[in-house]
Structure formats: C-alpha cells, structure tokens
Amino acid sequence: MHTAEIRQRWLDFFAERGHTVVPSASLVSDDPTLMFTVAGMVPFIPYMSGLIPAPYPRATSVQKCIRTLDIEEVGKTTRHGTFFQMAGNFSFGDYFKEQAIAYAWELLTTSEADGGYGFDERDLWVTVYEDDDEAIEMWKRIAGLPDRRIQRLGKADNYWHTGQAGPGGPCSEIYFDRGPEFGAEGGPAVDDSRYLEIWNLVFMQYLLDDVKSKTDFTVVRELPKKNIDTGLGVERVAFLKQGVANMYETDQVRPVLDLAAQLSGRRYGANHDDDVRMRVVADHVRSALMLMADGVTPSNEGGGYVLRRLLRRSVRSMRLLGVDAPTFTELFPASRDAMKAAYPEVETNYDRIARLAYAEEENFLGTLASGTSILDLAVAKTKQAGTRQLPGDTAFLLHDTFGFPIDLTLEMAEEAGLTVDRSAFDSLMLEQRTKAKADAKAKKTALADLSVYSDFRAKGETVFTGYEYLQTETKVLGIIVDGKSVTRATTGQTAEVILAETSLYAESGGQEADAGTIIGKGFELEVLDVQKPVKGLISHRVVVRSGEVGVEDAATTVVDPEWRRGATQAHSATHLIHAALRQVLGPDAHQSGSYNKAGYMRLDFNWNQALSPETRSEIEEIANSAIRRNLEVETRVMTLDEAKDLGAMALFGEKYGETVRVVDIGGPWSRELCAGTHVASSSEIGLINLVSESSVGSTNRRIESLVGIDAFRDLTTERAIVSQLTTNLKTPREQLPDRIAELLASLKAAEKRIAEFESAALAQRIPQLVEAARTANGVTIVREEVGSLRSADDLRSLVTSVRGRLGSAPAVVALAAEVNGKPSVIVAVNEAARERGVKAGPLAKTAAGVLGGGGGGKDDIAQGGGTDILALSAALDAVVAGLRL
C-alpha cells in the first residue's frame, strides 16, 4: 500500500463519517511559540483550548510535520525522521472516548478491500492511562481485546498536555506487534521496539493548572466540552504495510536512498556508517523539499537556518560517501517524483525549489573548499607544535563560523593522523545551545498569554471596515492592561483595546499598522499599534491621552488620512515592483517577503545575483510607466480555488483561508492575493524611486524604494547636489561623470607622487636614525620620535629598514610617530637580540600601556598604540627600561 494511498484512505474514512476534511497547514507554524508545525494537532490548538470557536464539530487531516530536536539521530534509528505526516481525527465537544476507540479499531482492522488498513486484530496491543478503567472497559467491549493485550502505564507515557496550563487528559496508544525477531515478548511495556506505536488517542477532558513537568500538574476540573485529538503516524503504517524495515525504505523515501547509493557506488545494507549517511540524505532531501514547497528559503536565522542545515548535512553526507561533485540535480527530482502524488505542490513549485537547492549546494561546496584550506592550516600548525590533537576551539570555529561539519573535521583530522579534542568542542556547542535555548525561552516568555483573548474571540470576529471607511462607530468589548483583562483604563495608562468594529488596519501582509486615534465621550486614545493576536481578533495598543475608557463604552476609530494615503501608495507600489520584476527577470523572481509603510517599501525576492544598473532602471521605468497609465485597481473577494483558477499569485510563506481577497492592478498585469489597503488607481501612487538593491542571502535579493512625496523629495535632494556640482566644477550636468572621473584620476596620480616623495624622504632619514644608535651591554638601541606619518605601514617600513642597517650584533629599534592623529610605537628586534631573550611583543605592549591603549605582536616586530600623543617620549623610555640590560 503506497503512502499516498494510506493518506487518502484516512481522509476518506473520516469524511464518510461526518468529519470536515481540513487541508494540511503549512510547515511554518502560526503558533508564535513554535517555529514549525511539530504535530498534527498544532493547527487545532486554538479550538481545543477554546481560544477560537471551532468552525466544525469534527474534523480530519493529514498534517505535514517537521521536528528537528533530534536531527543528529536521524538515520541512526528507525524512530527519528525530520519530516513526517500525522493523520488525525478531532472532535470539538462532539463525540468522545467511545466513538474515538470505535473509529480507530474499525479503520485499522477493516480489510484493505473494504477501505481499511487490514491489520490483523491479533497483532494489535493497546496501552491506557493507569487510572482509566473506562477506556479499558471500552477496549474490551468494542475491540474484544483480552486483558493481556491492554496495559496500564503512568503519566509519563499515557497522559497528554501542552506543557502549560490548559486542557489535557489521559491517552490510549495502539501498538503493532512486529514479531519475536524484533524483541522480547510481553507488550509495549516490555519492549517498544518490537511493539511499534502507530496511533495515539488523546481524551482531552480536564482543565489542568500548575503544570511543572510531564508528570507534575494539578487537575482543576472536567472541561464542559470534551475534545478528541488523535494521531496516526503515516510513515509507520507505511513501512508496516509495505513490509520494509523502517520509514527510510518506504516508497516516498527509498528512491532517494537508492540514488545516493548509486551515485556513491556503495551498497545499502553493506556498512552501518554508510547506511546511516544514505538515510540522512534521503530524509533531509525530502524534508528540505517540503520546507521549500511551503515557502522557506535558506538563510542564517529561524526556519531558513534549519533548512540550510538540512541541505548542508545532505551535502556533507554525500561527501562522506565519497561524492564530491554536486548531486542535488539528481536527488531532488527523485524526491519530487516520490512526493508529488500526495503533495502536487512540490511539482508545481519545483522550478523555484530547484533553483534554491542547487544554489545552496553550489555555495556550500565552495564553503567546504574554504574550510578544507583552513583545516589544512590548523592540522599543519598542530603538527608543528608537536601535538596529535586538534584543539576543540578550532573545530568549533570551523563549525560555527565557516559551516564546516564536525564529522567532516573528525574524518579529515583522522586522515592526517590526528584526533580532535571532542570534549572541548562539545562543551562549546553545549554553551552555544544553552544560550540559544535561553534566548528562545526569553522570547517565549515575552509573548503575551493568548488565553486572555479567548473570551473576546468567543464573541465573534472583529469587523474590519477600513477598506471603505476611515472612521467607524463601534463599542469597546474589552480592555487589557499588563496582560490582564480589566474594566477601565485611565489617563496615562497604556492598554490594549478590543473593539467590535474598527477602521484601523492591523499589521499584516508586510504592511505596517495604521496610525490614528480612538475617541469617545470623555476620552481620547492615541493608537500606538494594531495587531491580530489570534485569528479573527484585532487588538489596538493605545495610550490614554485624556479621560477614562471603559468596557461597553461607545467609541469611534479614526484613521490618520495622511498615513493611510502613504500606506496605500507604498503597498500598491510593492505590487507594481513585483510585477515589473517578473516581467524583466521572469517568473522565477518570486516575492519572498515585503515591508511597506507610508513613503517607503521594500521587497525581497528569490534571485541569486545582483541586478545590473540597466536592469534596475528597467524595473523602475516599468513600474512608473504603470503609474502613468493610470491602471484601475480592483479588489474582489472569492474562494481560494477561484482565485487560483483566475491566475492570482499566492505568495510563499503566506497563509490563506478558504476565502481570499484578490487585488488586480490593470487586470491580469498584476493579480495577487492580498489583504492590504490599496489606491483606487495606479496614478495615485505618484512616483516610485528605486533607491537600493542588495543581497539578503545567497538566494535572496532586496529592492528598496521611496514612494510618493518621499520619492519626490529624495529626487529633489539629488537634483540640488547635481546643481551644486555643476556650479563648483563649471561643468554641464551631462558631462559630470567624465569630469569627476578625470578629477579622481588626477587625485590618484597626485597621491602616488606624494607617496613616492614621502618614501624618498623616509629613506633619507634612515642614515640619521642609524647614527643615533647607542649601545648598552652589547645591544644596539635606536629610540627616536619621527614626527607625523601618513600610515602605520610607513612607520613599519622605517623600523625594519633601520634594523637591517644595524648589522648582525644584537639590536633593538623603537620608533614612535603620530599616525593619523593617534600615537603609535613599533618595536623591531633582530635575531641576535632575540637569542638573548629580547622580544618585541612585550616591549610594544609596555609602550602601549603608557599611551593608554593596547598592543603586541610577534617576537621580531610588534606595534602598540593608544590615545595620549604627548606620552610618545615616555612610551619610548618605557621600551628602553623594559630591556633591563
């Protein structure tokens, strides 16, 4: 049974039993405390917690999931996979424990011919929470299970909660007995390798509080509406139904594994280490493919960093298999073809995915080449020092700064006859991870407790009227101060205000929130920010400028018209630039992010090279031409499928509901899904001035533009500068570039002549300095101030030249100068002096201490500097005193 069929049978089974089929949410989680969707129930948490009323009484989904906490274990065991699919059926106050058990048993044991999974009843075991006698009775009655195949386990295994105060409850897990060749008899309580968990049924029936750990919490009371949350591991069912040993050998993963074996010339199953590497490649390529299909792009932070790590671990594993050449051009198409039956978007979006993956592989192969050079130097230095162990901090530097994997460092060090101080490396890695976890925890703690919004959201969605009106009469539904719901807020307080309706736009889709006020009888509130803390609810962060506002008060939202005008100009300009980009560069130049506010817009797009000045000008001209053509801007609300059929562009990384808003500028010329505010016609934008184009990653570029009056003001500033240049240089505007180039060439030539003169002048000073030498205890010493010099290089050249003239007897040269307004001392010591124990580094450091700064260097030559120019003579005296001759 193919994995795609397992997925479809699940959805069909529950759809036939009254469940709403909910499409998989994005791998990028909406939950602010999660980077990725890590479990099938994550998209349903707001409904289970009561934060948002459930739009249906029962639902089913097959959710795409990503977990990266155990990424180092991927391939080593059959349990760990980065990407996986979790099938779930959910009830929100509808059916409960008995029906959930009945559904599970029916689907698992119904024959394949009748639409089920066809498991033999004799191979199935269940575990229940130790005190859940009710579940045990149901398993016996519904499934006819004997006592021996029902096992009681404690909270650590059979109790579920979110880790925070809220809903939770006991769970019951279904296991498949793989047979005696996989372990000891006696059920999952004895051996959970032989007995494989395939389905978990959570009976969410209690309100929990004081949650300290998985097992330490307080049950407050039963929930008024009990929920069901179940999850079946699709990959686990797949490898059982396909008769293979693990998830890596299933139909959606095995093709990449086999191709990795073919490309490397190694056989899967012949060597444990090679098997692990092939499984890593198969898992990571599929996981990266699915992440990029959901809009994630490689970067150095957040989800982009995780994606980059997956891609690089794949490259690294292929290299450890002996393949140095690029392989993604073969591996990714294989994964695409294996996944497209279940997820057609991997084929639809493949051109974009391929461009990102191939570019990342090319860049990392270059990084590996650079890292290899650095590692070679470190190996040579280690051997020169007479040790056989590469320092841990060197391995960490290679890993952290250059992206050089530790196991590659271990392998290459071993080839050179060295070991690596792994304990020191692990200690530095632990320190880094601890800091990262602390940062993440701080960020998580900083987020508001979303439960405060549940009562307000239960009253319905906030109605946004701002598309048609700048003012709206409304009512205050709630006030939040310091994270707690209150009844009033007074002058000077900062608060969040929840309204029934609002004309103020909440920050979303790259558009900054509206500026404005909220007024009512006896109060005025200045709006600081407008956000959507939970789906469907708009919250206004305000400061009470005067009076007192209370719940149930009548109020009027007032948008700052100038701000809104500027915001609509900037957002519509973003659409024009995006359309112009695609017209000039082609459909691969796809928007990957944006930000716009009054007078300014920036747009990030997928591209891996800088735009030429000519290309930038062409994009700018096309966008401004669209403004001059006064194109009509039309907005329509329709279903997502209708919008896609119409050709509307959905942006990667954005999440859309079943109903969407389509914004047309000039009909199909620019047609995008967008909830932002826009001008009525393109001419209202006024002007777009493209001010910069830069890199924001190996596969991403950024365009920044000023819009409207801000664009005009910037151009008038440039015009004033050009006018001043034409006047000062007495040159017509069109000849300015040539005239400035001439002046720069003349300046460069003059600087060269000056440098030659100064070099000759320095050379003339060498004999005088040599003559100033004196001898103490057999060491020749030159100690002189040489005035002002243009650079430290001039001073260094002078010092080494004087040292070279002093012969082979022990000699020390210490010269001081003012370099670019700062004091500097350079000390040079010849070989004979070094043999007597005189070293330049400590002497330069001594001088720097007198100058109020720092210094040091090698034994033969070193430099010191500081801030006190008047102390140059004293610094030289300190050098001489430091000789102790």
For the stretch 318-333, pLDDT in tens is: 998 999 999 999 999 9
User: Pick from 588, 595, 563: which is nearest to 709 by CA?
Assistant: 563
Is the predicted pLDDT of residue 654 greater than 70, yes or no? no
User: Pick from 553, 531, 532: which is nearest to 544 by CA?
Assistant: 553
User: Which pLDDT score, from 0 to 100, does residue 235 have?
Assistant: 95
User: Which pLDDT score, from 0 to 100, does residue 378 have?
Assistant: 83
User: Which pLDDT score, from 0 to 100, does residue 139 have?
Assistant: 97
Q: pLDDT band at residue 441, thresholds of 50, 70 and 90?
A: very low
Mean pLDDT of 151-155: 95
Helix (H, G, I), strand (E, B) or coil at 608: coil
User: Which pLDDT score, from 0 to 100, does residue 653 have?
Assistant: 53
Domain ranges for the chain: 3-241, 254-444, 455-559, 564-715, 765-883
Q: Which residues pair with 702 in a beta bridge?
A: 604, 694
| DSSP symbols for 119-160 | --GGGEEEEEETT-HHHHHHIIIII---GGGEEEE-HHHHEE
HSE toward the beta carbon, residue 285, CA cutoff 13 A = 37
User: Which pLDDT score, from 0 to 100, does residue 435 have?
Assistant: 63
Phi, psi of 152 (to 5 degrees): -90, 130
Distance in angstroms (rounded) separating the CA atoms of residues 686 and 433: 50
User: Which pLDDT score, from 0 to 100, does residue 73 have?
Assistant: 76
Mean pLDDT of 129-133: 95
Structural contact between residues 122 and 144, judged by C-beta atoms closer than 8 angstroms? no
- 571 labelled ligand-binding: yes
User: Pick from 811, 885, 882: which is nearest to 841 by CA?
Assistant: 882
Helix (H, G, I), strand (E, B) or coil at 582: helix
**Of 139 and 30, which is predicted with more confidence?**
139
Amino acid in the structure at residue 17: R
* Fold of the domain built from segment(s) 3-241: BirA Bifunctional Protein; domain 2 (3.30.930)
User: Which pLDDT score, from 0 to 100, does residue 376 have?
Assistant: 82
Is the predicted pLDDT of residue 84 greater than 80, yes or no? yes
- 19 labelled ligand-binding: no
Q: Lowest-pLDDT range, 48-62, 448-462, 556-570, 789-803?
A: 448-462
For the stretch 714-731, pLDDT in tens is: 999 999 999 999 999 999
Is the predicted pLDDT of residue 442 greater than 60, yes or no? no
Which CA distances in Å does 92 have to 172, 221, 397, 785?
A: 18, 18, 51, 85
Same fold, 455-559 and 765-883: no
User: Pick from 655, 656, 659: which is nearest to 638 by CA?
Assistant: 659
User: Which pLDDT score, from 0 to 100, does residue 792 have?
Assistant: 86
User: Which pLDDT score, from 0 to 100, does residue 651 have?
Assistant: 67
CATH number for the 455-559 domain, one of 3.30.930.10, 3.30.70.100, 2.40.30.130, 1.10.287.610? 2.40.30.130
Mean pLDDT of 672-679: 94
For the stretch 180-198, pLDDT in tens is: 999 999 999 998 889 999 9
Is the predicted pLDDT of residue 408 greater than 80, yes or no? no
Give the other-Cβ count within 10 Å of 258's Cβ. 15
Distance of CA 48 to the CA centre of its chain: 28
User: Which pLDDT score, from 0 to 100, does residue 443 have?
Assistant: 36
Give the other-Cβ count within 10 Å of 573's Cβ. 31
Is the predicted pLDDT of residue 317 greater than 60, yes or no? yes
Q: Is the pTM of this model over 0.85?
A: no
User: Which pLDDT score, from 0 to 100, does residue 885 have?
Assistant: 56
CATH architecture of structural domain 564-715: 2-Layer Sandwich (3.30)
Q: Percent of the chain beyond pLDDT 90?
A: 60
Average pLDDT, the chain: 90
Nearest 5 degrees, angle CA 72-CA 75-CA 79?
90
Structural contact between residues 552 and 563, judged by C-beta atoms closer than 8 angstroms? no
Strands, E assignment, 163-217: 166-177, 195-209
User: Pick from 736, 720, 630, 724: which is nearest to 683 by CA?
Assistant: 630
- 540 labelled ligand-binding: no
- 171 labelled ligand-binding: no
What angle separates helix 328-339 from helix 272-293, to the nearest 10 degrees? 70
Identify the CATH number of the domain defined by range 765-883: 3.10.310.40
The stretches of 385-402 forming alpha helices (DSSP H) are: 392-402
Token digits of residue 379: 């190996």
Mean pLDDT of 404-431: 81
Residues 6+ apart with CB under 8 A from 851: 823, 825, 864, 865, 866, 867, 868, 871, 872, 875
Is the predicted pLDDT of residue 436 greater than 60, yes or no? no
Structural contact between residues 52 and 457, judged by C-beta atoms closer than 8 angstroms? yes
For the stretch 517-529, pLDDT in tens is: 999 999 999 999 9
For the stretch 278-289, pLDDT in tens is: 999 999 999 999
Is the predicted pLDDT of residue 238 greater than 90, yes or no? yes
Distance in angstroms (rounded) separating the CA atoms of residues 574 and 708: 12
